[in-house]
Structure 1
């Protein structure tokens, strides 16, 4: 409990506090529990003075109440809508602000399509800036134009929406970490930024695999700390694109008393075991090969590996994802 000496009030001077201390009144709680008549008798404080000090303590230490409506509005502000209603429902409101969300899948499973569609929606509907870190050097401005054009907006509005998507090309982890720190330091750089997309992090991380594996974990840790700092301080949501890799593993099983060997395909996220505890939300993408149309299946899980909902199927078309 806070001491009386920590209370910044004109009537609680050093002499008054010393007098109260002689009667074992040291903390704020002691002061509030003590009888008002006793305090007035010990000190030169009037009843009005004592009530004024008590009110000051209540205002400083009491929790403030919040209505159900205010709490609902606060919860809404804690998420960024993806502009895809069914995905927002699966995400319990949208992308969590100040947190890291992972989009992961096999090559050509719709990861870039998904983050491109989300970027367009945040820019066009929410009128917020997006920083798109293009680590693969394959960002398509014409694809952004095509998606926005399908919304039916005028050329001037379309140009404004495209301008709000800031593309940054980085080639190594050190440059990415430096950029995230600059984002924290420079207000002009993060002006109206609600979303940072890194597509994709394995492109930068795989440079440090093998003999440099320890260095890679260190760099990944530095990036995570910087991203969490920027996210928490400024309410920015991060989408990190990860890659699922395929491995063939020789599995030996016993059948009818004989050892039988067979190759089994194993799918492993490229960023390794350390990364699996970093994002708060995981979005998994996969191509639905059973359908003639090009569709992707999306499943959403929390960091506790809790499935938020059933797998959702989306059609890939000229407007991105439907």
Structure 2
């Protein structure tokens, strides 16, 4: 701790230092955290001069206090849109993925979630020499998938392909506790890896589905801890954090018409209210991302990737003879963009285009 002395500042005379010492204000830190009105009465110093003194002492400590607006402007200047390399998606997002943001990609099994983040990682490594850190919770990460994408891009030579592969680091993780420990370790090491600008967790629900029954509170507590760590990683180091989520079709029972949004939102409606209704209950089904409302409030951007609907019968194309390579990417939530808008993409050998 830096002690108060006359050398700290011209306004800190011997008399001032002695008076402060009598009131057990000995260090610079203690002085700065003492109420200014109390110091004014104690030292008979004008509040304006006292403010100048405190500001100068803050600079000596290497810390300059700023207000909320200044802090917001600093964060905005540090953040920037990084194009994903997928033209229609970049147009949808207004330029690309915002560094410093938490992006949740959800969709049904086989919809193309892994292909989407893999394409983004390859494009960033190719065009901007950005490093990617992937946390594989399912044990199914495939380096061959990335290699096939690179081999399909004729403009890439052997040395460039090797360089890109080296820029994508993978670590396996099989429990929420290990994931939290891994994120803490990554926070400590980020200053040594300035080129890491993309963090992917594939997938998050895989770990949290390990909790059942009376472990629900532990589930939510650890999810909150993880969210804080991911926010800190994203904001302090201006990286994009992508979590891969799953969707399931859930059916609700209610008395509104099918498709009534209130019936979907109120999934936990009181059973007695249902019993008191005189009309027959109706069912409403919807696709819902896992991890509930809590995780929805945490992510700054949530995208859904889905198969293109057949215009003739409004059902997803799941034929095995001629599978469709068309996908729809829809914005479900965004802090910067309009929601419920979408773009069309295609699954190809070179990734998603």
Bucket of the pairwise TM-score, normalised by the shorter protein: 0.7 to 0.9
Once the 2 structures are TM-superposed, how far is the Cα of residue 15 of structure 1 from its aligned partner? 5.7
Within 2, Cα distance between the matches of 1:248 and 1:171? 30
Do the aligned partners of residues 155 and 220 (structure 1) sit closer, same or farther apart at CA in structure 2, a change above 3 Å counting?
same
Residue in 1 aligned with 2:338? 307
Whether the 8 Å CA contact 1:130–1:196 is kept in 2: the answer is: yes
Residue in structure 2 matched with residue 235 of structure 1 by the alignment: 238
Counterpart CA distance in 1 for 2:306 and 2:90 is 18
Change (3 A) 1:28 1:7: farther
Of 5-14 and 219-228, more deviation after overlay is shown by: 5-14
2:178 to 175, 189, 209: 175
Partner of 2:202: 199
| Kept in 2: contact 1:104–1:284 (CA 8 A) | yes
8 Å Cα contact 1:90/1:308 also seen in 2: no
Equivalence for 1:246: 249
Distance 1:107 1:223 in 2: 24
Residue 166 of structure 1, CA deviation: 0.4
| Secondary structure at the counterpart of residue 94 of structure 2 | coil
User: Residue 116 of structure 2 corresponds to which residue in structure 1?
Assistant: 114
Query: Quick one: which of 210, 215, 219 aligns to 1:212?
Result: 215
Residues 30 and 176 (structure 1), Cα distance of their counterparts in 2 relative to 1, 3 Å cut: closer
CA 1:6–1:165 in 2, change beyond 3 Å: closer, same or farther? farther
Contact in 1 for aligned 2:78/2:238 (Cα 8 Å): no
1 CA distance for matches of 2:336 and 2:190? 36
Residue 269 of structure 1: aligned partner: 289
Q: Structure 2 matches for 1:1-322, cutoff 5 A? A: 10-14=9-13, 25-28=45-48, 75=77, 77-151=79-153, 152-187=155-190, 190-252=193-255, 259-290=279-310, 293-303=324-334, 307-308=338-339, 310-322=341-353
Aligned in 2, Cα 1:283/1:21: closer, same or farther, shift over 3 Å?
same
- Runs of 4+ off more than 6 Å: 5-9, 20-23, 59-63
TM-score, normalisation: structure 2: 0.69
| Root-mean-square deviation (Å) | 3.8
Aligned equivalent of 2:21: none
Asked whether the equivalents of residues 184 and 190 of structure 1 are also in contact (C-alpha less than 8 Å), the reply is: no
Q: Deviations over 1:22-50 (max 9, x none)?
A: 99642336798xxxxxxxxxxxxxxxxxx
- Per-residue deviation, 1:250: 3.5
Q: Any idea what SS the aligned residue of 1:112 has?
A: helix
How many aligned positions are there?
Answer: 289
2:79–2:98 contact (8 Å) kept in structure 1: no
- Give 3-state SS (helix, strand or coil) of 2:11's partner: coil
Unaligned segments of structure 2, at least 5 residues: 18-39, 67-72, 258-277, 312-322
Task: Name the one with the larger strand percent.
Answer: 1
For the 8 Å contact 2:197–2:238, the answer to whether it is kept is: yes
For residues 92 and 140 of structure 1, do their structure 2 counterparts lie closer, same or farther at Cα, with a shift above 3 Å needed?
Answer: same
Q: TM-score, normalised by structure 1?
A: 0.75
Q: Is the 8 A contact 1:294 1:315 kept in 2?
A: yes
